[in-house]
Chains A and B, each alone.
Chain A
Amino acid sequence: SQTIHQWPATLVQPVGSPLSLECTVEGTSNPNLYWYRQAAGRGLQLLFYSVGIGQISSEVPQNLSASRPQDRQFILSSKKLLLSDSGFYLCAWSVLTGGAKGNTEAFFGQGTRLTVV
């Protein structure tokens, strides 16, 4: 069965420090991978998505970046964190499950609570 691992679960970082959040997926090949940020009152904001190794699409210009060094690994990074980067970060994956139009479903990790102080 497929599983998704996201770590760490919680993180407190000072302003200006770097960030690296990692997400790995097991049990599937060539998934679409996503990074979301969930902020109170703002729902789920899509930050980045990737359809293959080295392919990253950015949805929101900001001081975050993403990389996909391996098929099932997705990393969210920052060189210098801002206070506004605080939030709950979720990694997700999806694959087409067949059919003429496809029937993709996304599966989410448990999330990382980031507090920038």
Chain B
Amino acid sequence: GDSVTQMEGPVTLSEEAFLTINCTYTATGYPSLFWYVQYPGEGLQLLLKATKADDKGSNKGFEATYRKETTSFHLEKGSVQVSDSAVYFCALCDTGFQKLVFGTGTRLLVSP
């Protein structure tokens, strides 16, 4: 079945460091791909998305490119801030837009 695999955390970085959180997926067809973020004490919210191969989603300085050849959707940010500390979830939605499947989440800790 459809699945998402994320790198294990926590990822610990200093402020202004470069961030990469890896995400790979397994799916039939052409799923849509998402990154969700959960800040401490808050619910999940959409960070960015991409619906077809080579699309790049971006928001708040974060970027991810839909790579069909490597079935990946890695999250990147050039310079992280303390306020980016949160849990990040990679997700996919199947071609029929029915089932939304999440990865296990990666905790990011940014220190000043």
Q: Residues of A at under 8 Å CB distance from B?
A: 32, 34, 36, 41-46, 49, 51, 57, 59, 90, 92, 94, 96, 99, 101-106, 108-111
Contacts and interface: CB of A to CB of B under 8 A. Distances in A.
Contact of A43 (B97, B100, B102): B102
Contacts, number: 70
A104 B30 CA distance: 14
Interface residues of B toward A: which range? 20 to 34
B89 A110 contact: no
A109 B49 contact: no
A110 B32 contact: no
18 contacts: A32-B100, A34-B100, A41-B104, A42-B104, A43-B102, A45-B102, A51-B98, A59-B99, A92-B100, A94-B93, A101-B32, A104-B32, A104-B93, A105-B34, A105-B46, A106-B34, A106-B36, A106-B46
B51 A103 contact: yes
A46 B99 contact: yes
Nearest to A105: B46
Interface of B: 6, 30, 32, 34, 36, 43-46, 49, 51-52, 89, 91, 93, 97-105
Given A101-B51, A103-B49, A103-B51, A49 B44 contact: no
A34 B89 CA distance: 16
Contact of B97 (A41, A57, A102): A102
A104 B101 CA distance: 13
A43 B36 CA distance: 12
B104 A49 contact: no
A43 B89 contact: yes
Contacts of A57: 98-99
A43 B51 contact: no
Contact of A44 (B45, B49, B102): B102
B48 to A, nearest CB: 10
A44 B99 contact: no
Contact of A110 (B36, B43, B100): B43
